Amino acid sequence: MRFADIIGQDDIKRHLIGTVKENRISHAQMFLGREGFGSLPLAIAYAQYINCQHRTDSDSCGECPSCRQISQLAFPDLHFVFPVPTAGSEDKSVSDNFFDKWSEFIKQKPYGNYQQWLDFVGAGNSQGLIRVKESNEIIRKLSMKTFNAEYKIMIIWMPEKMHPDAANKLLKLIEEPYPKTLFLLVAESAEFILPTIISRTQLVRVSRIADSDIKAGLQQRAGISENAAEKIASISEGNFGKALEYCDHTADLAQNLEFFMKLMRTSYSFKAPDMIALAEELGALGREKQKAFLTYCERMVRENLIMNRHLEKMTHLTDDEGNFAQKFSRFIHPQNSMLIAEALDKAIYHISRNASTKIVFMDTIITLARCLRMPAE
């Protein structure tokens, strides 16, 4: 992966290139930014730049043996650690055992998130973890001689999923790594990482991608119209992974709005036959669609609340969503918005836990009915 393959983030690219040119590569760095902002692709491009044999002032060459191997994620001195689900025994629940899947995932979805990774690997209800056994592997791999590389690099994705014992085992190595060894931690939220780990790393803050960069990125990759790319960029919240998803599912976007309008109208009117019919209709969708729809509802409630506060300029809505919000936003106010968000969250939780989806939607409709009828102020 070259820097040129990464959407926007020019300031961070400049900073990373600067560390190489000025020979001040910090041996432990933490890329910290929300999902979809591109922290992982940036870390990989950085690793490629560092090890490129013919790098220029702005990028790796993409042609030399190191570049080729890294772009295939097959460079013997570039290691990855990431959360994995339980795989039978403790010994098998390590990154190496999942590496083929991981490599496929990164090539298909470099902007993919934790949940998508777990789905990709078929984790089911199992959580992803970085276990103690993994730390032993890290120490073992880094103690070996480099094959041919300038730097041996260990990329740890989602250190927030690291078992505290696993993290503690690594402290010393992160503080005093072997020569020419580099730790690149790629995290979303610092609050779930041991402070002792954070204090030993240099922070690289990855902020949201500019809408204009997302728009350009979409036009390059997905071959969509300028107008559609602009609309999608404006509702993606700086998250390129989400933007690509919207692109793949523009039909879903329209259908979600349709369902959202129906859900709000049916809840408000509180007519039992309509409520039952809607619970059955939504209950019949696949679970992934249901979760995507409820996540969509959460966004719409947030946007309608902003509209309700007369902050139209701060909303990110498509034309159709905006038209509905013009009339609907008076029903979403500070008195009920939190309760609605909680109800939607709860529904997602129960659907993930394999509850009966028709009952989940019926419960949600009843809660929404109560919330929507609450007086404002």
Measured from the CB atom, the residue of 64 and 194 that comes closer to Zn ion is 64
Residue from 20, 64, 129, 228 binding Zn ion (CB under 5 A) = 64
Nearest CB to Zn ion, comparing residues 2 and 161:
2
Nearer to Zn ion, 64 or 87 (CB): 64
User: Given candidates 40, 67, 118, 204, which one binds Zn ion under the rule CB under 5 A?
Assistant: 67
CB of 146 vs Zn ion, minimal distance in Å: 17
Q: Closer to Zn ion at the Cβ: 65 or 334?
A: 65
Nearer to Zn ion, 61 or 341 (CB): 61
Residue given tokens 């249901």 in the structure block = 290
Candidates 17, 52, 158, 294; binder of Zn ion (CB under 5 A) is: 52
- Reduce the DSSP state of residue 83 to 3 states and report it: coil
Binding residues for Zn ion, total number by CB under 5 A: 5
Angle between helix 272-283 and 250-269 (nearest 10): 150
For Zn ion, the closer CB: 60 or 367: 60
Alpha-carbon dihedral angle through residues 71, 72, 78, 79, given to the nearest 10 degrees:
130
| Cβ neighbours of residue 42 closer than 8 Å, sequence gap 6 or more | 6, 9, 12, 13, 16, 31, 204, 206
Q: Which is nearer to Zn ion, 61 or 261 (CB)?
A: 61
Contact region for Zn ion (CB under 5 A) — 60-68, 170-178, 232-240, 305-313? Answer: 60-68
Report the C-alpha gap between 377 and 55 in whole angstroms: 61
Q: How many CA atoms, within 13 angstroms, populate the side-chain half-sphere of residue 316?
A: 13
Instruction: Tell me how far, at minimum, the Cβ of 59 lies from Zn ion, in Å.
Output: 9
Contacts of 332 (CB under 8 A, 6+ apart): 301, 304, 305, 307, 308, 340
The CB-of-43 to Zn ion minimum distance in angstroms stands at 17
Give the binding range for Zn ion (CB under 5 A) out of 21-29, 52-60, 261-269, 334-342: 52-60
Instruction: Quote the least distance from Cβ 25 to Zn ion, whole Å.
Output: 17
Examine residue 61 and tell whether it contacts Zn ion (CB under 5 A).
yes
Q: Judged by CB, which is closer to Zn ion: 5, or 96? A: 5
Of residues 68 and 291, the one with the C-beta less far from Zn ion: 68
For the CB of residue 75, give the shortest distance to Zn ion in the complex, in Å. Answer: 11
Least distance CB 2 / Zn ion (angstroms): 9
User: Which one, 67 or 372, has the nearer CB to Zn ion?
Assistant: 67
Q: Min. distance of Cβ 16 from Zn ion in angstroms?
A: 15
Of positions 60, 113, 315, 367, contacts Zn ion by CB under 5 A: 60
Give the interface segment with Zn ion, choosing from 54-62, 227-235, 237-245, 345-353 (CB under 5 A).
54-62
Dmax over Cα atoms in the chain, in whole Å? 71
Q: Which residues contact 350 (CB under 8 A, 6 or more apart)?
A: 360
Give the range of 1-9, 39-47, 49-57, 88-96 binding Zn ion by CB under 5 A: 49-57
Q: Which of positions 182-211 make contact with Zn ion (CB under 5 A)?
A: none
In angstroms, how far is CA 172 from the centroid of its own chain? 29
Q: CA 178 to CA 152: how far, in whole Å? A: 9
- Shortest Å distance, C-beta 148 to Zn ion: 13
Question: Residue 58: which of 20, 110, 7, 107 has the closest Cα?
Answer: 20
Residue list 90-109, contact with Zn ion (CB under 5 A): none
- Rounded to whole angstroms, the Cα distance separating 369 from 278 reads 13
69 makes contact with Zn ion (CB under 5 A): no
Q: How far apart (Å, rounded) are the C-alpha atoms in residues 360 and 285?
A: 13
What distances in angstroms separate CA 286 from CA 39, 73, 282, 290, one per listed residue? 31, 34, 9, 6
For position 20 contacting Zn ion by CB under 5 A, the verdict is no
Amino acid at 11: D
Residue 28 belongs to what H/E stretch?
A: strand 28-32
Binding site residues, Zn ion, CB under 5 A: 52, 60-61, 64, 67
